[in-house]
Amino acid sequence: MDMTDGGPDLVYLVTGGCGFLGEHMVKTLLEMEPRLRELRVFDLHLGPWLEALKPGPVQVTPIQGDVTRAEDVVAALAGADVVIHMAGLVDVWGLNDPEVIYRVNVQGTQNVIEACVQTGTQFLVYTSSMEALGPNTKGHPFYRGNEDTPYEAIHTQPYPRSKAQAERLVLEANGRKVRGGLPLVTCALRPTGIYGEGHQLMLDFYRKAQRAGGWLFRTVPASVEHGRVYAGNVAWMHVLAARELGSRATTMGGQVYFCYDDSPYKSYEDFNLEILGPCGIGLLGTQPLLPYFLLFLLATLNAFLQWLLRPLVVYTALINPYTLSLANTTFTVQTDKARRHFDYQPLYGWEESRDRTVSWVKTRKGCPGPLPRD
Ligand SMILES: NC(=O)c1ccc[n+]([C@@H]2O[C@H](COP(=O)([O-])OP(=O)(O)OC[C@H]3O[C@@H](n4cnc5c(N)ncnc54)[C@H](O)[C@@H]3O)[C@@H](O)[C@H]2O)c1
Ligand SMILES: CC(C)[C@@H](O)CC[C@@H](C)[C@H]1CC[C@H]2[C@@H]3[C@H](O)C=C4C[C@@H](O)CC[C@]4(C)[C@H]3CC[C@]12C
Ligand 2 atom 16 nearest Cα: 193
Res 137: pLDDT: 86
Does some domain include residue 291? no
Which of ligand 1's atoms lies nearest the C-alpha of 259? 6
Domain that holds residue 123: 10-199+227-263+330-352
Res 183: pLDDT: 98
Tell me how many domains the chain contains: 1
pLDDT (tens digit, 9 = 90+) per residue, 232-275? 999 999 999 999 999 999 999 999 999 999 999 999 999 999 99
Q: Which residues of the chain fall below pLDDT 50?
A: 1, 369-374
The answer to whether the CB of 88 is under 6 A from ligand 1 is yes
Res 8: pLDDT: 73
Centre of ligand 2 from the C-alpha of residue 323, in Å:
6
Does some domain include residue 121? yes
pLDDT (tens digit, 9 = 90+) per residue, 266-301? 999 999 999 999 999 999 999 999 999 999 999 999
The verdict on whether 143 is a catalytic residue reads no
The CATH number assigned to the domain holding 95 equals 3.40.50.720
Does some domain include residue 54? yes
What is the average pLDDT value for the chain, to the nearest integer? 95
The answer to whether the CB of 92 is under 6 A from ligand 2 is yes
Does some domain include residue 205? no
Determine which one of 12, 102, 126, 159 is catalytic.
159
The whole-angstrom separation of Cα 315 and Cα 142 is 31
In sequence order, the β-bridge partners of residue 83 are 13, 124
Phi, psi angle pair for 84, to nearest 5°: -105, 110
The answer to whether the CB of 326 is under 6 A from ligand 2 is yes
Does some domain include residue 274? no
Does some domain include residue 320? no
Does some domain include residue 83? yes
Q: How many other C-beta atoms are found inside a 10 Å radius of the C-beta of residue 340?
A: 11
Res 257: pLDDT: 98
Q: Which has the closest alpha carbon to 230: 267, 208, 190, 197?
A: 197
Query: What ligand has the least distance to the C-alpha of 288?
Result: 2
Q: Which has the closest alpha carbon to 364: 283, 270, 279, 281?
A: 279
Query: What ligand has the least distance to the C-alpha of 131?
Result: 2
Does some domain include residue 252? yes
